[in-house]
Amino acid sequence: MSCLRVQSLAYNSGLDILFLARIALKGSMKIRMSSPDLSDADRQAVLDVINTPNLSMGPKIAAFERAFCEFTGAKHAIGVNSGTVGLHLCVRAAGVEAGDILLTTPFSFVSSTNVILFEKAVPVFVDVDPFTGNIDTELLAQAVEDLSLGVEIARKWLPRRFPPVNRHDLGAVKALLPVDVFGQPADYDLINAVASQYNLLVIEDSCEALGGEYKGRVAGTLGDYGVFAFYPNKQITTGEGGMIVTDDDEAADFMRALRNHGLHPDAAGVRLCKAIIQGGLEAEEVGDEARITLSQTAHHLQIGFRNFKHGVRPDVIIGIGVLGMFL
Ligand SMILES: Cc1ncc(COP(=O)(O)O)c(C=O)c1O
């Protein structure tokens, strides 16, 4: 790894350059992606939960969501059963319809594109900055401008097998879906400037970026909606799990309903029983089964925030992961 690359990585992710240089100089050292670190207390926390009747949507979920609001400063946090589902609910909340266009990055885990395809929308890939691995914001601005000018000019950005190439109309450009690759947030000043110029929503895939920062702001809060993931290779784990954060009241309500079969959050208890007896849930939207289980959450609360309190900075863990790949 060149010094320049180490320097750029350190500058962009706020890592300690001496720390990075020491690792780089070791040359052959293998640095593995994080693996789960479970203690007896974590195992006990899971047992405590499964000894209660509240195995899903219980008090631990609310505590987990509150902890996320506190950590990120976001107004709402919505626990879901994977990062992918979290991203999918954001795409739904953005009002994406079949044929709509979302701009995203090709350098990601496959689910940031799959969630676009789930809605039969069109992912337009914008290449990445070779230094950061994140979406190139100049290209992004160019792509959005071209896409706003009609199908002929837009054609070079469209997937080769894009169905409407014979047509003269393009779907609406609805949203940007940048990914904070390996914990390093993309350049949100520019992304948000493009979004506000063209009235687009920004869905921040911060599945790899819990604890990352951009100009003093926390990853996950840099767009309209942000999503974290808790698969075992992430900074903290619930086994499977994810968390959406947003300041948008209406979108939060909508996503809370969607995670639970479309059932509105206040349609609980008696109302829910009544609705089921009457042969239908009070669902205005077709929702997912996206709830996170209580035992997953207990595990997360125990492990995740313990590590944070002990000062293990996720960006350091991720920085190590990135270096491991390059060395
Ligand atoms: C960038 C990115 N997006 C989305 C996801 C999906 O998260 P999950 O595996 O929890 O569905 C991941 C997880 O690996 C990821 O790295």
Residue 25 pLDDT greater than 60, yes or no: yes
Cα-only R_g, the chain: 21
Backbone angle region of 122, left / alpha / beta, with phi > 0 → left and psi within -120 to 50 → alpha: beta
Q: What is the pLDDT of residue 49?
A: 87
pLDDT at 46 (0 to 100): 87
Assign residue 81 the CATH number of its domain.
Answer: 3.40.640.10
Residue 161 in this model has a pLDDT that exceeds 90:
no
Q: Residues 284, 267: contact at Cβ < 8 Å?
A: no
pLDDT digits (tens, 9 = 90+) for 38-64: 889 988 988 988 899 888 888 888 999
Measured from the Cα of 85, ligand 1's closest atom is 11
CA of 157 to the centre of ligand 1 (A): 25
Lowest mean pLDDT among 224-228, 260-264, 311-315: 311-315
The confidence score (pLDDT) of residue 261 equals 81
**pLDDT for the residue numbered 20:** 59
Note whether 122 and 99 are within 8 A (CB).
Answer: yes
Residue 317 has pLDDT above 50, yes or no: no
Cα separation, 290 vs 285, in Å, equals: 14
Helix (H, G, I), strand (E, B) or coil at 259: helix
Give the model's pLDDT for residue 79.
95
What is the number of domains present in the chain? Answer: 1
H or E stretch at 173: strand 173-177
For the CA of 231, the closest atom of ligand 1 is: 10
- By CB atoms closer than 10 A (0-12, 13-18, 19+), residue 230 is buried
- Residue 65, SS3 per DSSP: helix
Q: What is the pLDDT of residues 166-212, one digit of tens each?
A: 555 678 999 999 999 999 999 999 999 999 999 999 999 999 999 99
Interacting residues of 158 by C-beta distance below 8 A, sequence separation 6+: 122, 124, 165
pLDDT at 4 over 60: no
Tell me: pLDDT of 72 over 90. Answer: yes
Give me 256's structure tokens.
């809370």
Which residues participate in catalysis according to the annotation?
234
CA of 207 to the centre of ligand 1 (A): 5
pLDDT at 267: 59
What average pLDDT does range 56-77 have in this prediction? 93
Which atom of ligand 1 sits closest to the CA of residue 84? 11
Task: Assess contact for 217 and 191: CB atoms under 8 A.
Answer: no
> Could you tell me if 167 and 198 are in contact, meaning their C-beta atoms sit under 8 angstroms apart?
no
Closest of 220, 243, 204 to residue 82, by C-alpha:
243
Ligand 1 atom 8, closest CA: 83
Question: pLDDT-based confidence at 323, cuts 50/70/90?
Answer: very low
pLDDT in tens, 96-146: 999 999 999 999 999 999 999 999 999 999 999 999 999 999 999 999 999
| Among 231, 233, 244, residue to substitute to test ligand 1 (most atoms within 8 Å of Cβ) | 231
pLDDT digits (tens, 9 = 90+) for 262-285: 777 765 544 443 444 443 334 445
Q: Is the pLDDT at 89 greater than 70, yes or no?
A: yes
Ligand 1 neighbours by CB, cut-off 6 Å = 82-84, 108-109, 111-112, 179, 205, 207-208, 229, 231, 242
pLDDT for 296 equals: 58
- Ligand 1 centroid – CA 111 distance (Å): 6
Nearest CA to ligand 1 atom 7: 83
Determine the pLDDT at residue 56: 82
141 Cα–ligand 1 center, Å: 25
Is the model more confident about 159 or about 232? 232
Distance from Cα 83 to the centre of ligand 1, integer Å: 5
Residue range of the domain that includes 263 = 3-326
**Percent of the chain residues past pLDDT 70, beyond the cut:** 68
Q: Is the dihedral of CA 94, 153, 108, 317 positive or negative?
A: negative
The minimum-distance atom of ligand 1 relative to the CA of 111 is 4
pLDDT the model gives residue 152: 82
**Considering the chain, what is the average pLDDT of its residues?**
79
Token match 């604890």: residue?
211
Residue 12's pLDDT is 46
- Our mutation pick for probing the ligand 1 site, out of 33, 111, 318, counting the most ligand atoms within 8 A of Cβ, is 111
- pLDDT tens column, 286-298: 555 566 665 555 5
